[in-house]
A and B are shown apart, each in its own frame.
Chain A
Amino acid sequence: MYLIAMSLNLQSILVPTAIGGGIALILGIILVVAARIFALPADEKLEEIRAALPGVNCGACGYSGCDAYAMALRDGEPNAAKCPVGGKETAMELAAILGLSPPSFIPQVAYVFCQGTTDHTSKRYDYQGITSCASAQGLFSGPNSCTFGCMGFGDCVAVCPYDAITISDGIAHINTERCKACGLCVAACPKELIQIIPRHYNAYTVSCRNKWPGAQTRKNCKVGCIGCSRCYKVCPSGAITMDGPLAVIDQNLCTHCNKCLEVCPTHAIQRGLFLGEGPDGKPMRSKKPDDPVSPTPAFGSPAGAN
């Protein structure tokens, strides 16, 4: 009796297994054969283009990802220099694959337009919520005395795929050696403090984004732009415009003449990009006044031709 029961049980397990497995096996074989028969010739050019792109899918080129940009290039997109992550090498490689003339490529970098470190600004209240800029922004625009300035909770640090951003003294600094200008931090900052600018190592920037009148700015931050428009008046090349009570330097027009830096009363104007922390633990800037005006002569056109 026992043996019969065993064999029945065995059959009731084996038959479904055999049928299920058999169906799966046959379907698998059919699929493989079909894939062989109906295989499309792979687009070699597309794959070559795709391989030349870095594959970060950051979207900085304006397409939805590396695949989309590769497809656009294959279908006649004329600009092979849209990838800031791959930089010059990628642009050259793409141009070679596509048979385009070498594109003009201006290296770019992200820049934090704020110097409101803890010794320059104060706190309006003690924030104890989630350590995220987006969250703090929702609570009376954050705890800083300047509600336009960097809060230093590091939303940009969290999204940076290259570990290029550090928070020190309460504000974000971008390490220009690591930054690939992909623009993810630009989107992450709730204060819209980060922008992508041309990578001039002696760049002149009004490192401030506040829109308060001068008196209120002075009260809340020692290095804020007070809108005195002295730089605007002194600039010989018309690169500085006044956006209300805030001076803005157009990086493409700036000739790096140093005049605005000399007249700025609050030192809101800064020269040089952040290069990481120096030996004294303070942010080190690339202050090279004798830098060439355009640092990209070896490749492509000078600044301004975007």
Chain B
Amino acid sequence: MKEMLIILFSAILVDNFVLSKFLGICPFLGVSKNLKTAMGMSMAVIFVMVLATAITWPVFYLLLAPYDLGYLQTVIFILVIAALVQLIETFLKKALPPLYQALGIYLPLITTNCAILGVAILNIDQAYGFGESMINSLGAGLGFMLALFLFSGVRSKVDHADVPRFFKGLPITLVSAALVSIAFFGFKGLIENLFS
């Protein structure tokens, strides 16, 4: 249990996908302008990350590993994740229209993002079991959500700040993203003592 909690919290805080692994920067910068889009995107990321892990872990250990085909994981994972999300989307459209509306355009957008593939591949690299993988993916998604929410707050402050003209727009956004990222490095030493 303690192991699981450590995996969950280190995925959220220490190994935050956006702020310390630098995966999924594109949606991070693209939709952090206001809380509403950030919410939609975060939900889609959590949803797809957990789903992707649930399908890629068995695919790797049942199909690829027995035949020594680990080198195919990138290609096969992309294929499987994309098809799975497409399937889920058709299902949601029919069965749960409100959820489909809430996830909206973000669901297909996030599917081929590096953060999704990243979590699938990292789970295999870390040799996590199925349960651990699921916890790790959930943590990664929650971490993305946390980063996005924090940063959309930072951005709304930056919008009202008196920024030098040549820093306006993306430059100041990247600078503030870097500062938030440095702040997250503070969690590094914290996690080991959190559950002892």
Determine how close the nearest CB of chain B comes to the CB of A33; give it in whole angstroms.
10
Once A27-B79, A30-B83 are accepted as A-B contacts, the answer to whether A20 and B72 lie under 8 Å apart by CB is yes
Q: Please determine whether A16 and B87 come into contact, CB atoms closer than 8 angstroms.
A: no
Determine how close the nearest CB of chain B comes to the CB of A43; give it in whole angstroms.
13
Report if A31 contacts B (CB, 8 A).
yes
Q: Please determine whether A38 and B94 come into contact, CB atoms closer than 8 angstroms.
A: yes
Q: Please determine whether B90 and A16 come into contact, CB atoms closer than 8 angstroms.
A: no
Report if A139 contacts B (CB, 8 A).
no
Q: Please determine whether A34 and B91 come into contact, CB atoms closer than 8 angstroms.
A: yes
Report if B183 contacts A (CB, 8 A).
no
Determine how close the nearest CB of chain B comes to the CB of A243; give it in whole angstroms.
33
Q: Please determine whether A19 and B95 come into contact, CB atoms closer than 8 angstroms.
A: no
Q: Please determine whether B83 and A27 come into contact, CB atoms closer than 8 angstroms.
A: yes
Contact flags A227-238 to B (C-beta < 8 A → 1, else 0): 000000000000
Report if A257 contacts B (CB, 8 A).
no
Q: Please determine whether A23 and B76 come into contact, CB atoms closer than 8 angstroms.
A: yes
Q: Please determine whether B59 and A23 come into contact, CB atoms closer than 8 angstroms.
A: yes
Contact flags B81-96 to A (C-beta < 8 A → 1, else 0): 0010011001101110
Once A34-B87, A38-B90 are accepted as A-B contacts, the answer to whether A16 and B79 lie under 8 Å apart by CB is no
Determine how close the nearest CB of chain A comes to the CB of B70; give it in whole angstroms.
11
Report if A3 contacts B (CB, 8 A).
no
Q: Please determine whether A19 and B87 come into contact, CB atoms closer than 8 angstroms.
A: no
Contacts of B65-83 to chain A: CB distance below 8 A: 67, 69, 72, 75-76, 79-80, 83
Report if A24 contacts B (CB, 8 A).
yes
Interface size on B, residues (CB 8 A): 18
Report if B63 contacts A (CB, 8 A).
yes
Which residues of chain B come closer than 8 Å to A20, judged between CB atoms?
Answer: 72, 75-76, 79
Which of the residues A16, A27, A35 comes within 8 Å of B80, measured between beta carbons? Answer: A27
Interface size on A, residues (CB 8 A): 15
Q: Please determine whether A23 and B95 come into contact, CB atoms closer than 8 angstroms.
A: no
Determine how close the nearest CB of chain A comes to the CB of B100; give it in whole angstroms.
11
Which residues of chain A come closer than 8 Å to B59, judged between CB atoms?
Answer: 23
Which residues of chain B come closer than 8 Å to A34, judged between CB atoms?
Answer: 87, 90-91
Report if A42 contacts B (CB, 8 A).
no
Which residues of chain A come closer than 8 Å to B75, judged between CB atoms?
Answer: 20
Q: Please determine whether B91 and A23 come into contact, CB atoms closer than 8 angstroms.
A: no
Once A24-B79, A31-B83 are accepted as A-B contacts, the answer to whether A19 and B90 lie under 8 Å apart by CB is no
A38 to B83, CA, bound (A): 15
Which residues of chain A come closer than 8 Å to B80, judged between CB atoms?
Answer: 23, 27
A153 to B22, CA, bound (A): 46
Determine how close the nearest CB of chain B comes to the CB of A14; give it in whole angstroms.
11
Q: Please determine whether A19 and B67 come into contact, CB atoms closer than 8 angstroms.
A: yes
A38 to B90, CA, bound (A): 6
Report if B154 contacts A (CB, 8 A).
no
Q: Please determine whether A16 and B69 come into contact, CB atoms closer than 8 angstroms.
A: yes
Which residues of chain B come closer than 8 Å to A305, judged between CB atoms?
Answer: none
Extra pairs beyond A19-B69, A19-B72, A40-B93 (4, CB < 8 Å): A15-B67, A24-B79, A38-B94, A39-B94
User: Which residue numbers of B lie inside 8 Å of A, CB to CB?
Assistant: 59, 63-64, 67, 69, 72, 75-76, 79-80, 83, 86-87, 90-91, 93-95
Q: List 21 A-B contacts (CB under 8 A).
A: A15-B67, A15-B69, A16-B72, A19-B63, A19-B67, A19-B72, A20-B72, A20-B75, A20-B79, A27-B79, A27-B80, A27-B83, A31-B83, A31-B90, A35-B90, A38-B90, A38-B91, A38-B94, A38-B95, A39-B94, A40-B94
